[in-house]
């Protein structure tokens, strides 16, 4: 998206020099070329980015050559992996966009329980490949999200309370830095860079390969339990999710029921709680662990749908929203929980809004996420027990913008703690960066940025300016 003010024009991307450096094997797509529209497209609707050139490297060497051309020209580099950045920074205006989707390798060491994965693989492709061996690395709840973006921001998902955030399973990375050098980093090599990659976003270079730990996760009990939304039921579902053993993680949506075939027609449009649960403990203990959730449903008049079932873990990441013409606006917040008064306010607001779609998402954390010290990685909000989002959807960007004051006010009311989870921030401005990275984390990130990207070549992200 264009900036409101008129910043100085950044150095142009030298398209001819890129073509010479990359050769025929790696096409460079510029605005006048056929295929430019498809090459710059990203997942979220309504985001129109116009990079100066899009390159789709097939290996680390091509990334190095492209980054060196950008370095010599002083041009900005933006990185696209799964393309799910909700404000489209993976393809920044005027930048050289590196589209990593062909870096989708997956090399598994079954005995060692580790894998090297390409910087452009999706969470779904990774999880399906690992799942064939009964293994998993925790990502989010949607398979089409890129491993690159979710990992570098932190990664919260259906295994967070049992196995921690994605970054807690990151063992190392191969990074092409702003000066075009290939660096291997882990806890023992360039440890400050490794610290910064675990939550600091795409600020520090192009990650061409990630090395992850894998965990034994085969069959889980998961899926969606749907129940009528009342202030009591919303607050009780959140409380049950927080009180559950760490092997149970829940992502709770509160929204008007969409007209999906799996939801009885008479409930379409009525406010519902959609609890997306994943039990990754022993299967014979699942019913006991899920009993409090089912009990809340019973007290609310009965579940409208009980889709909780034993299933292979990767199947829980399938489906999810399609990219398309609809445009969303939203705000994220942290909280310790959600009481009945806050739930009543939330339902009142969802009921009163005329947005095409509107929802609150409440991700209950704690468990293994909070076991890691706040300064161990660049994700500093380890104590936050709930990460939330509120969103409204319209047919176009102008319509969505009209709902921004509404989502802001609602998020302000539900917010219980300072800060934000960077992967849910809806802009890349300084306020978003400061919310994501408080105090000492901010200072340390700026120092690492100064060492690895002093010219701020990688600024298509929630940007940390060099110290």
In the complex, which residues of this chain contact ligand FAD (CB under 6 A)? 42, 78-86, 89-90, 100, 119, 140-142, 145-146, 148-150, 152-153, 155-157, 201-202, 206-207, 320-321, 423, 460-461
Query: Residue 89 or residue 193: which is nearer to ligand FAD going by CB?
Result: 89
Query: Residue 230 or residue 332: which is nearer to ligand FAD going by CB?
Result: 332
Shortest Å distance, C-beta 325 to ligand FAD: 15
Secondary element (H or E) of residue 226: strand 219-228
Shortest Å distance, C-beta 182 to ligand FAD: 13
Query: Residue 84 or residue 449: which is nearer to ligand FAD going by CB?
Result: 84
The Cβ-side half-sphere exposure at 101, using a 13 Å CA radius, reads 17
Q: Which residue is nearest to ligand FAD (CB)?
A: 149
Query: Residue 78 or residue 230: which is nearer to ligand FAD going by CB?
Result: 78
Secondary element (H or E) of residue 401: helix 397-402
Query: Residue 78 or residue 377: which is nearer to ligand FAD going by CB?
Result: 78
Token pair 């730990």: residue: 213
d(CA 213, CA 92): 32
The token pair that represents 81 in the structure block = 């992996």
Shortest Å distance, C-beta 328 to ligand FAD: 9
d(CA 462, CA 12): 22
DSSP 303-339: -SEE--EEEEGGGGGS--PPP-S-EEEEEEEEES---
Query: Residue 21 or residue 147: which is nearer to ligand FAD going by CB?
Result: 147
Query: Residue 82 or residue 172: which is nearer to ligand FAD going by CB?
Result: 82
Shortest Å distance, C-beta 345 to ligand FAD: 25
CB 224 within 8 A of CB 307: yes
Q: Which of 291, 313, 276, 285 is nearest to 243 (CA)?
A: 291
Shortest Å distance, C-beta 95 to ligand FAD: 10
Shortest Å distance, C-beta 295 to ligand FAD: 26
Shortest Å distance, C-beta 302 to ligand FAD: 28
In sequence order, the β-bridge partners of residue 176 are: 182, 206
Q: Packing angle between helix 231-243 and helix 286-299, nearest 10 degrees?
A: 170
Residue 376, Cβ density class (10 Å: 0-12 exposed, 13-18 middle, ≥19 buried): middle
Secondary element (H or E) of residue 298: helix 286-299
Query: Residue 82 or residue 419: which is nearer to ligand FAD going by CB?
Result: 82
The Cβ-side half-sphere exposure at 251, using a 13 Å CA radius, reads 18
Query: Residue 303 or residue 432: which is nearer to ligand FAD going by CB?
Result: 432
Shortest Å distance, C-beta 333 to ligand FAD: 15
d(CA 388, CA 234): 14
* Torsions phi, psi for 53 (to 5 deg): -160, 145
Q: Packing angle between helix 231-243 and helix 340-352, nearest 10 degrees?
A: 130
* Torsions phi, psi for 45 (to 5 deg): -70, 150
Query: Residue 251 or residue 305: which is nearer to ligand FAD going by CB?
Result: 251
Query: Residue 209 or residue 236: which is nearer to ligand FAD going by CB?
Result: 209
Shortest Å distance, C-beta 265 to ligand FAD: 26
CB 253 within 8 A of CB 347: no
Shortest Å distance, C-beta 233 to ligand FAD: 23
d(CA 166, CA 85): 17
Secondary element (H or E) of residue 170: strand 170-176
Strand ranges (E), 372-449: 386-394
Shortest Å distance, C-beta 43 to ligand FAD: 6
């Amino acid at each position: 998206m264009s900036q409101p003010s008129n910043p100085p024009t950044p150095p142009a991307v030298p398209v001819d020099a890129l073509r010479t450096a990359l050769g025929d094997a790696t096409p460079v797509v510029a605005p006048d070329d056929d295929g430019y529209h498809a090459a710059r497209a990203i997942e979220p609707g309504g985001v129109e980015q116009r990079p100066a050139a899009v390159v789709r490297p097939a290996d680390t060497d091509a990334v190095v050559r492209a980054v060196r051309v950008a370095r010599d020209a002083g041009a900005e580099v933006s990185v696209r992996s799964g393309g799910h950045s909700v404000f489209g920074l993976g393809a920044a205006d005027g930048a050289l966009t590196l589209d990593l989707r062909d870096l989708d390798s997956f090399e598994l060491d079954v005995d060692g329980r580790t894998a090297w994965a390409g910087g452009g693989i999706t969470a779904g492709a990774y999880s399906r490949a690992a799942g064939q061996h009964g293994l998993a690395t925790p990502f989010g709840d949607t398979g089409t999200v890129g491993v690159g973006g979710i990992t570098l921001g932190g990664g919260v998902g259906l295994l967070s309370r049992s196995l921690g955030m994605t970054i807690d399973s990151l063992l190392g990375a191969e990074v092409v830095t702003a000066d075009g050098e290939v660096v291997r980093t882990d806890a023992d090599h360039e440890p400050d860079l490794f610290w910064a990659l675990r939550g600091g976003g795409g600020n520090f270079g192009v990650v061409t390969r990630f090395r992850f730990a894998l965990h034994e996760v085969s069959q889980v009990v998961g899926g969606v339990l749907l129940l009528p939304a009342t202030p009591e039921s919303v607050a009780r579902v959140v409380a049950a999710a927080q009180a559950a053993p760490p092997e149970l993680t829940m992502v709770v949506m509160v929204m008007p029921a969409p007209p999906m075939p799996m939801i009885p027609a008479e409930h379409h449009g009525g406010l519902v709680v959609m609890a997306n649960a994943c039990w990754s403990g022993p299967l014979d203990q699942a019913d006991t662990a899920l009993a409090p959730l089912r009990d809340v449903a019973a007290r609310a008049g009965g579940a409208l749908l009980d889709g909780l079932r034993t299933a292979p873990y990767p199947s829980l990441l399938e489906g999810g929203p399609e990219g398309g013409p609809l445009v969303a606006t939203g705000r994220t917040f942290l909280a310790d929980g959600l009481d009945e008064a806050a739930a009543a306010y939330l339902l009142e607001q969802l009921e009163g809004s005329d947005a095409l779609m509107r929802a609150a998402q409440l991700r209950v954390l704690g468990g293994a996420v909070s076991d890691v010290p706040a300064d161990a990685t660049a994700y500093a909000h380890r104590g936050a027990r709930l990460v939330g989002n509120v969103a409204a959807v319209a047919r176009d960007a102008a319509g969505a913008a009209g709902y921004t004051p509404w989502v802001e006010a609602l998020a302000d009311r539900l917010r219980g703690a300072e800060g934000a989870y960077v992967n849910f921030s809806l802009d890349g401005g300084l306020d978003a960066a400061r919310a994501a990275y408080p105090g000492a984390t901010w200072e340390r990130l700026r120092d690492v940025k100064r060492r690895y990207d002093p010219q701020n070549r990688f600024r298509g992200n929630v940007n940390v300016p060099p110290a």
